Amino acid sequence: MGDTTRSSPLPPASATGFDLAAERDACGIGFVAHVDGRPRRSIVAMALEGLCGVKHRGAVAADARSGDGAGVLTQIPRELAAAWAGELGAADADPERTGLAMLFLQAGDGDDERAARTSARDAFAQACSDEGVELVGFRDVPTDAGAIGEMALAAQPALVQAVMLRPVGLGDREAERTAYRIRRRARKACEAAGVRFYVASCSFLTVTYKAMADADQLDAFYLDLRDERYVSALAIYHSRFSTNTAPSWERAQPFRTLCHNGEINTIDGNLNLMRAREGQFVPGEMSVDGVDWATQELLPPVIDHDQSDSAKLDAALELLVLGGRDVRHAQSMLVPQVWEGSRDLEPAVRDFYRYHSCLIEPWDGPAGLIFTDGVRVGAGLDRNGLRPLRYHVCEDGTIVASSEVGAVSTSLPTDHPDHRGTVRRERLGPGQVLCVDPTEGGLQEDREIKLRLGAGAPYGAWLAERLTAVNAGLPIEAVPADLHQRQLAYGITKEEIISILRPMATQGRETTSSMGDDTPIEALSHVRRPISHFMKQRFAQVTNPAIDHYRESEVMSLRTLLGPRASVLTEGPEAADLIELGSFFLYPEGLQRIVMSPDLPFSVQAVDATFPVSDGPAGLAAALARLGDEAVGHARAGAGVVVVSDVGADVERARVPILLAIGAVHQRLLAENLRTATSLVAETDEARETHDAATLLGFGADAIVPRLVLQTIADLADEGRIGGDNPSASVAQGRYRNALEDGVLKIMSKMGISVLDSYRSAQIFECLGLGSDVIDTCFTGTTSTLGGLTLADLATEVLEQHAEAFPVAGPDGEVSLPALASPGIIKWRKGGEFHDMSKPVVDALHDVLGLGRAPTTAPFRLDGAGVSTEVDGTTAALLRTAAAEGRTELYERFSATVQARPAAYPRDFLVPHNPAGPIPLDEVEPVEAITRRFSTGAMSHGALSAEAHETLAAALNMIGGKANSGEGGEDPARFRTRWSALDLDCRMKQVASGRFGVTPEYLANAHLLQIKIAQGSKPGEGGQIPGHKVTEEIARLRHTTPGVTLISPPPHHDIYSIEDLAQLIFDLKQVNPEALVD
């Protein structure tokens, strides 16, 4: 392998702060409307009642009075708005022409604050003038400061309403576009001036009142809402619970077109791809009925990066509606139901979704939505149905939808003045929608809406005429003569072939093995690592749960489209001029058929991801720049697919790591507003395992052709070295493909993402160990807190690897190639990668424990009565013997062995700093108080032997700590040792997604019940015990069948929201009221 040691430690990290991209919420939502569309005071009153009814779904700050956020959106109360216009001097204002803008401006009484408010008002006034809109004036929104908490007051902006009059004869849709342009103009002017300016709403149809308040404070705070003249035909409401965000006035909901309960797991990809589409928003594309309604100067960015995920979704919905689509149509584009594998969907509806997938990817994640265009109001659920939405249809025409039954009183006695007649109660299912549209007869439920959407255009005919379906191609038949040399050049190791590739090729899935990585981080590794290893997968949990891709396979899809994407604002057959693949995977023969196809409406071009060896380390950066230039040129020339190929490495040219190449091209196309003009295919001899594929897809690849690994598998099969049932070369490649695709599905499911279109380009990774030049060039926006290796460092490694694969010939002219390396990354081996728990360390520990001098037997046994007895020869006894004999040199040798290991993790560079010196013992807590905080890791009986599990429990009970049972249950006999000399009962008992071993007796014997939300060693995946480890003993404790593989589902199938979690906590407390729950 040569000298592959990395000598330089990580450079200092750059300063980091709160990541706005991480913002998520879990909230209460709802709407109230009447089918006749006539404004009523009762609609507003019921919405405020509903808001109070979901108060428990919101949250308050430490002062107990400052809420996370609450708000209502209604139609503009026409008579009241006209009265406000009259107060501002427009005595004869036409109520139907009034518009309102709710502005959050700089608060404060200082000169600078007053100047900032004046500047913001002037900017808004100028924007109105530019758009030909009469600005009547500004009014300070009347409020009661005593209604909200001190923290909310301290953060409160100046609340100002602009009263406007629309031009005579301007229709609703065009008036809303005008209001949109006013908002964009004013904001850009304020941004340029550095002035605080936020528009909660700006419309000639609707107005939003929201605050950093609790749900029951809103109408007490905003005095306008108490006015009996405040009427509306529809109202939507929202109470916010910030799961991992800081509350603010701006983040309160509703926004301008919707409110949202949930989390958009795909938000990074949606944001990146919407940014890519901004290059399409040019004259012509922004026109409706031949008139451009927005300009490219006004729009970018369509979505603000510093908004919450809900606000970003609102901006996308608003864009589609203003672009000419019906609000139901737009919502169904952004949050489609499952259609790919659904067998009972009408063909026209399926064609609707299939067509629109050519335009935009799903905004995927748990989502309950309430949406409106100011005339219609509706509700919808995500494709998995992971948020509750129920609705009541009242006989008097009132429609109520809410997160919870009972938020709004609909079932009142017949003699009650607000009695609404018979009430029909329903709930929305996964992917379903409903809408109240007074212009088309009132209430429309899911099937009616979907059939209307499907009949809106000849989508099926467009698809049949334009969309080209292509299969993955045929497996490789011929294996190149230089296979071994290419394996060396691209870093394939013997260890990977044995431990990763052969199981994938024989079993059709990733191999099952123990988790936990005790090797150094990649930047400190002593062996070369693929760039993908520097990328760490993120995962979802609780309120945005992982998906169980085994049990929920019908909602998962790897469907892939190749070709230039039409603008999301278009609707025509040309949007379907694409290639459709079953997945991201292509055999080389499949790629060749695409390249050679004469029927495509676009060309396919390739860029060479190699660089001259003679250029030295500087050649890598130059190659990345060249790749970007060439890809941009091809995209501008009409190439609908660009193949980024690293397979051209030879004696004179070294490979560009394929992840760097894809990332650099993707980022360059984004910067040039060309990313939607072309698709990227990675033709690679480097990528081989599922994480490689996931990173390529996550950083921009649309499809992957893993050529060399297929050749390697074919060679193993041809030579009879594949193992298993010795499949043929074609069968083995097919199984590898299945394993690769299943592995990508599992990785997607960890983030709660079910559709590859939404995962692609989402960059749902954090980087550990790459420097800023690598991130800026190839992975823009990816978190790399510690910095690390530079492009020059990576180039040096590539060139070293290239020199091993293409060595200089000896004096006799012969070239001697080394064998494939076994670096010992997966399993420790002498001379290989460093492992924390290496053989020398374990041997030294065994010496300390006396294991090197005597065998061990079971530390404890339970007799029939459940009484424990200690047995000689145990680990604990031998350790006591070693200590009694004064064998401290053994521990010192063990300690020295541990301390002498090389730096492997960032913590190894931390040096404790205590300038004050030792603290006297009488000034610190006693030992007993400290040890009470000790606990063991949550390792189950099954992951650990009974002996080890019981020993840990006994030790922690001796010192007053808590042993954690893990998720595998516990022998009931151990519960009865609690008051004996040797207490083996685990005080901390886990309840995991598989509920293994969870019984009333188990729960009743816990001091602390721990709900295991995610698997620590396999986050987002769930735990697993192979069938051969499920013995009679393990099966008895887990209440299952011996020999059956046990898998804990990635999510708790009864926890998809904070209310689900609260329900489980409540249930557990019914069994054990005294136990703490965490």
Which positions are catalytic? 27
Question: Do the beta carbons of residue 762 and residue 276 sit within 8 Å?
Answer: no
- Tell me the residue type at 79: E
Residues 377-400, buried b or exposed e (16+ Cβ, 10 A)? bbbbbbbbbbbbbbbbbbeebbbb
Q: Is the dihedral of CA 551, 552, 554, 559 positive or negative?
A: negative
CA dist 609 and 647 (Å) reads: 8
Describe the crossing of helices 347-356 and 446-454 by its angle, rounded to 10 degrees: 70
Question: How many other β-carbons are positioned within 10 Å of the β-carbon of residue 237?
Answer: 33
Residues 814-839, buried b or exposed e (16+ Cβ, 10 A)? eeeeeebbbbbbbebeeebbbbeebe
Identify any residues that bridge with 704 across adjacent strands, giving them in sequence order. 585, 682
SS3 state at 990: strand
Q: Compute the C-alpha angle 813/817/823, nearest 5°.
A: 160
CA dist 580 and 428 (Å) reads: 31
- Report the side by side order of strands in the sheet with 679-684: 603-608, 639-645, 679-684, 703-706
Contacting residues for 970 by C-beta, under 8 A, at least 6 apart? 941, 985, 986, 989, 997, 1002, 1037
Give residue for tokens 């992951």.
943
DSSP state of 498: I
Measuring CA to CA, how many Å separate 732 from each of 588, 721, 1056?
A: 16, 12, 38
User: How many Cα atoms within 13 Å fall on the side-chain side of residue 524?
Assistant: 21
| Backbone torsions φ then ψ of 68, nearest 5 degrees | -70, -25
Instruction: Provide the pairing of β-strand 234-239 with 70-75.
Output: antiparallel
H, E, C per residue of 702-726: CEEEEHHHHHHHHHHHHCCCCCCCC
SS3 state at 455: coil
CA dist 477 and 233 (Å) reads: 68
Give residue for tokens 């107005």.
207
